[in-house]
Amino acid sequence: MVTSRIGAWLTAARRSLTSTVGLLLELLGIGPDVDPHTRVTFRAIADAVVPETPALAEEIGPEHVAGGLAIDLDEFAITYVDDGFQFGLPHLGPQGNIPIADPIAHVLDAAALTLVERGDNEAEPSLDRALSLLGPDDPSAAKTEDAVGPFAKLSRRDRLRAIAILDEFEVEFTPTDHDLLELDAGLVGQLVVGFMEMIYYSEWQGYDEFTQPPSRREHPNDPAAVQSWRQTGFPGFANGYAALRGYVGTADGPLGDGDAWTTIDESTGVAIRREPGSFRENEYDTSGYEEPFPVESG
């Protein structure tokens, strides 16, 4: 009992020390403030992956115009990737996480430079284009100019082309027959395109504050609160649906029973039946097995 009380005290002491260290780091400028270059680069990503699309209004409806920047997707993406991985400093809490948004932004700049060097860009890079990504709450254009990197200056399509260049950076190192070390910069592309899309189309926008502890997160579960749900027609999360059609099976087979609710194929007798069944514990014989494709030894 005494030992557990001492243990609890030590834990509390360590935690308060941790938050003091955290405060110091913030005062020294190593804190959650987002670097302006990172901010404008992530805006450029969000704007290329889920852009504002006025042309879709006539084609599929006005609700499809707004894009990621309208809901600060860039800001959340920075928080999400910076909080996403940690490298073994549990007592630092969130400050033990590895901030990777800054390095990602620099990698994208390198890819943009390669694109332009090759002359594969369709439009000239433009500082004004990058500055137009700034929001009303951002520092003025004059203050941000220096922070704009090559990636943010590209057209939307060229930004995607630059991301695709990263797919080419693959290293494979095989010192012996059974050793392999491969590294693939395409992972950056999966992060900035794949994660951006997953976040945008998920429930994320509906939270008051996603970074709250799980027990204190509120979500209205209503398309009115989630722009992407209005664009996909996703109705929100439900406890259930009366959507049962039955069980696929044949009249004399074990999988389903009862009346046919609908027929899949007249000639084979496959139908959707009303009642559930079970699989057959069958005899099996694999002696005729042949590999459909060549097999390497391993």
- Chain positions 6 to 45 lying near other proteins, rule: CB under 8 A, are 7, 11
CB-CB neighbours of 254 under 10 Å: 13
Q: Tell which one of 35, 219, 225, 260 touches other proteins (CB under 8 A).
A: 219
Dist. CA 45–CA 158, nearest whole Å: 11
Position 262 contacts other proteins (CB under 8 A): yes
Position 156 contacts other proteins (CB under 8 A): yes
Q: Which amino acid is at 29?
A: G
Q: Tell which one of 187, 225, 227, 251 touches other proteins (CB under 8 A).
A: 187
**Contacts of residue 232, Cβ cutoff 8 Å, sequence gap at least 6:** 201
264: helix, coil or strand?
Answer: strand
Position 129 contacts other proteins (CB under 8 A): no
CB-nearer residue toward other proteins: 144 or 271: 271
CB-nearer residue toward other proteins: 146 or 179: 179
Show contacts with other proteins in window 54-93 (CB under 8 A).
55-56, 59-61, 64, 67, 83-91, 93
CB-nearer residue toward other proteins: 113 or 248: 248
Position 266 contacts other proteins (CB under 8 A): no
Q: Tell which one of 75, 102, 138, 197 touches other proteins (CB under 8 A).
A: 197
Asked if 297 contacts 285 with a C-beta cutoff of 8 angstroms, the reply is no
Of 31-39, 108-116, 123-131, 160-168: span binding other proteins (CB under 8 A): 160-168
∠ CA(265), CA(267), CA(268), 5° rounding? 70
Q: Cα torsion at 287, 288, 293, 298 (round to 10°)?
A: 10
Q: Tell which one of 23, 31, 174, 220 touches other proteins (CB under 8 A).
A: 174
Q: Tell which one of 111, 134, 204, 223 touches other proteins (CB under 8 A).
A: 204
Show contacts with other proteins in window 87-116 (CB under 8 A).
87-91, 93-94, 96-98
Dist. CA 41–CA 109, nearest whole Å: 9
Of 32-40, 123-131, 138-146, 230-238: span binding other proteins (CB under 8 A): 230-238
CB-nearer residue toward other proteins: 43 or 144: 43
Q: How many alpha carbons lie under 13 Å from residue 214 in its C-beta half-sphere?
A: 0
Dist. CA 192–CA 150, nearest whole Å: 16
Radius of gyration of the chain (CA): 27
Minimal CA–CA distance to 231: which of 73, 75, 89, 45?
Answer: 73
Cα–Cα separations (whole angstroms), residue 171 to 110, 179, 185, 251: 17, 14, 9, 56
CB-nearer residue toward other proteins: 11 or 20: 11
Binding pattern for the stretch 231-260 against other proteins, x by CB under 8 A and - elsewhere: xxxxx-xxxxxxxxxxxxxx--xxxx----
CB-nearer residue toward other proteins: 115 or 144: 115
